[in-house]
Amino acid sequence: MLDYRFPTALQMVLSVAMAEQSGERSTSAILAYGLEANPSFIRKLMVPLTRDGIIVSTLGRNGSIHLGRPPEQITLRDIYLSVIEDKKLWASRPDVPARCVVSANACWYFKSIADEAEQASLEVLARHTVASALEKVKKADTSGCDPVPEIEVRCKKAL
């Protein structure tokens, strides 16, 4: 089963950062519409992101979502660990009865490889901040994608 928590949370945080740079307002409804995601999924992801100080949400009719700290101080690792929590990148099989050399050793071997891959992934994510990611996203080739003004118009209509 695919896990969309991290890519969705990353898009949420980048959208909030972009809105802040543009002087625009972010809400869970705007994020859900702009990301074509279920609003309850967006609100569910807001819980750990708020808990970990990545975003700050104000309630009420004029409520909005803001970054909890400057975008240069939020790494993609922070976002990943916040929403993934204790779920590993790869899960090893449950203990298998030791019936041969492979079954006796495959579990611990796979776990060691999975742990190494997880650490490597975390190191890569730690090298990137929301600020650097946003700059790359803004400079990216958007051929085949909706132009930014169209997306902003659709998001504003969601209000």
For residues 88 and 116, is the Cβ–Cβ distance under 8 A?
no
Shortest CA distance to 16 belongs to which of 58, 4, 60, 147? 58
Q: Is the pLDDT of residue 154 over 50?
A: no
pLDDT digits (tens, 9 = 90+) for 106-126: 778 888 888 899 999 999 999
Euclidean distance between CA atoms 96 and 113, whole angstroms:
17
Tell me which amino acid residue 8 is.
T
CB within 8 Å of 131: residues ≥ 6 apart: 17, 70, 71, 72
DSSP character string of 87-128: --SSPPPPP----SHHHHHHHHHHHHHHHHHHHHHHHHHHT-
- Quickly count: other Cβ atoms within 10 Å of residue 76's Cβ: 22
Distance CA(82)–CA(44), nearest Å, equals 12
CA-closest candidate to residue 92, choices 111, 118, 79? 111
Amino acid letter, residue 131: A
pTM: 0.80
- Cα 24 from chain centroid? 21
- Of residues 157 and 32, the one with the higher pLDDT is 32
pLDDT given at position 75: 98
Tens of pLDDT along 56-108? 998 877 789 999 999 999 999 999 999 998 777 777 677 677 788 887 777 78
Check residue 79 and give its pLDDT: 97
Query: Mean per-residue pLDDT for 43-62?
Result: 92
